Copies of this chain bind each other. A is one copy, B any other.
Amino acid sequence: MVTLAEVARHAGVSASTVSYVLSGKRSISAVTRQRVRDSIEHLGYHPHAGARALASSRSRVIALMVPLRTDMYVPVMMEIAIAVATTARVHGYDVLLLTGEEGPAAVQRVTGSGLAEAMILMDIQLDDERLPLLRGGGQPAVLVGLPADPSGLTCVDLDFTATGALCADHLAELGHRELAVIGEAPGVYERHTGFAERTLAGLRDRAARHGISVLHRPCGGGYGSLVGTLGRIFDERPGTTGFAVQNEAVVEPLLALLRQDGRAVPEDVSVVAVCPEQVATQASVRLTSVAVPAQELGRRAVELLMAKLRSRPGEEVVLLPPELTVRDSSGWAPDVNCR
């Protein structure tokens, strides 16, 4: 392994000079700078991360805590994670991957050991057990998601309340009077995961103002559970003509089942989804949807974190405004159509 000292010797300067060339914290003459750079190149020098962390007490690593719930839609998590890693690299940081397994203890461990300077947390529950540790302000953190009480915390998320409202508005404008919401797996609601509950609340609230009825049904992934869920929805509310779906895994099965039942989309039934663009455009019917901007969330989370690492402002909540894109799965409610 090549060390700073060897580079210094090779370039005929002192170790500190090499260090300053690397960090740029003091001015070094152009000649010397170039000579040092050449030596670094020539010897293939890479600063030792541990030594750096020790001397500067900055590890240039951030931790990303990704829970491993089996009932969450994985690609979104992954896309966020990748965006985090990529953006972090742009800022000269690497990313440490933590699974939910260790729970809050992981926060302690990584914080305490100086392994990571800061952390990003995903899959936030409304009353997340990791939050008290973070509020202490032990170390900078950004949540991707919004807990019930974000005081003293920095969060970034899609504005899911507005998302729900947007779905309700869209379906209401098209004349639908009875809506069904097919949601995430029951476990997601049982855990009080913010995004699921907020979407529902936003939708319910707006629907109420429009005087529209809403039937909410969580639904596990997979074709099987959807068959049951959908059957029960139509049993209970045969007049349902509008669907809001927040569950990527049942989007395609839903379209298949409706087709099979002889209900045409969007002539008989309208569907609005909350999902990544890719899912919406690759489905068998191009879906009217509110996009979940996974990449953007990851990127913003890192940028907020970097800002916090420079100077630590207090709390801050960034809610991205939702955008509804009309595609082929929503249209006038049948009765309106007939007028």
Please tell me if the beta carbons of B109 and A223 are within 8 angstroms of each other in the complex: no
The residue in A79, A85, A101, A281 that gathers the most chain B C-beta atoms within 10 A of its C-beta is A85
Interface string of A100-123 (1 = CB under 8 A from B): 011000001111111100000000
Residues of B within 8 A of A115 (CB): 49, 61, 94
Please tell me if the beta carbons of B94 and A95 are within 8 angstroms of each other in the complex: no
Stretch at the interface among A171-179, A252-260, A300-308, A318-326: A252-260
A66 CB to closest chain B CB (Å) equals 8
Please tell me if the beta carbons of A50 and B114 are within 8 angstroms of each other in the complex: yes
Residues of B within 8 A of A260 (CB): 259
Please tell me if the beta carbons of A50 and B53 are within 8 angstroms of each other in the complex: yes
Q: Range of interface residues on chain A?
A: 35 or more
Report the Cα distance A176→B86, complex, angstroms. Answer: 47
Please tell me if the beta carbons of A112 and B282 are within 8 angstroms of each other in the complex: no
A215 contacts chain B at the CB level, 8 A cutoff: no
Residues of B within 8 A of A61 (CB): 96, 115
Please tell me if the beta carbons of B223 and A48 are within 8 angstroms of each other in the complex: no
Please tell me if the beta carbons of B283 and A223 are within 8 angstroms of each other in the complex: yes
Question: Which residues of A, 35-61, contact B by the 8 Å Cβ criterion?
Answer: 44-54, 57, 59, 61
Report the Cα distance A237→B66, complex, angstroms. Answer: 46
Known: A46-B108, A51-B50. A78 touches B89 (CB 8 A): no
Pick the residue among B47, B51, B224, B283 that contacts A282 (CB under 8 A).
Answer: B224
Please tell me if the beta carbons of B97 and A81 are within 8 angstroms of each other in the complex: yes
* Total copies of this chain within the assembly: 2
Report the Cα distance A209→B210, complex, angstroms. Answer: 67
Please tell me if the beta carbons of B49 and A53 are within 8 angstroms of each other in the complex: yes
A22 contacts chain B at the CB level, 8 A cutoff: no
Report the Cα distance A221→B75, complex, angstroms. Answer: 14
A230 contacts chain B at the CB level, 8 A cutoff: no
Residues of B within 8 A of A86 (CB): 68, 99, 101
Please tell me if the beta carbons of A49 and B50 are within 8 angstroms of each other in the complex: yes
Report the Cα distance A57→B50, complex, angstroms. Answer: 8
Pick the residue among B77, B97, B223, B282 that contacts A85 (CB under 8 A).
Answer: B97
Please tell me if the beta carbons of A223 and B284 are within 8 angstroms of each other in the complex: yes
Residues of B within 8 A of A82 (CB): 66, 68, 99
A292 contacts chain B at the CB level, 8 A cutoff: no
- Closest residue of chain B to A109, judged by CB? B46
Please tell me if the beta carbons of A282 and B223 are within 8 angstroms of each other in the complex: yes
Report the Cα distance A89→B85, complex, angstroms. Answer: 20
Report the Cα distance A101→B222, complex, angstroms. Answer: 33
Give the interface of A toward B (CB within 8 A). 1, 44-54, 57, 59, 61, 64, 66, 68, 74-75, 77-79, 81-82, 85-86, 89, 94-99, 101-102, 108-115, 221-224, 249, 252-253, 256, 259-260, 281-284
User: What are the nearest 9 A-B pairs in CB distance?
Assistant: A46-B112, A50-B53, A222-B282, A223-B284, A50-B54, A49-B115, A49-B113, A97-B97, A256-B256
30 contacts across the A-B interface (CB closer than 8 A): A1-B112, A1-B114, A44-B112, A46-B109, A46-B112, A48-B54, A49-B50, A49-B53, A49-B114, A50-B51, A50-B53, A50-B59, A54-B54, A61-B96, A64-B97, A74-B78, A75-B75, A85-B97, A89-B99, A94-B96, A95-B96, A95-B97, A96-B96, A222-B282, A223-B282, A249-B282, A252-B252, A252-B253, A256-B259, A259-B260
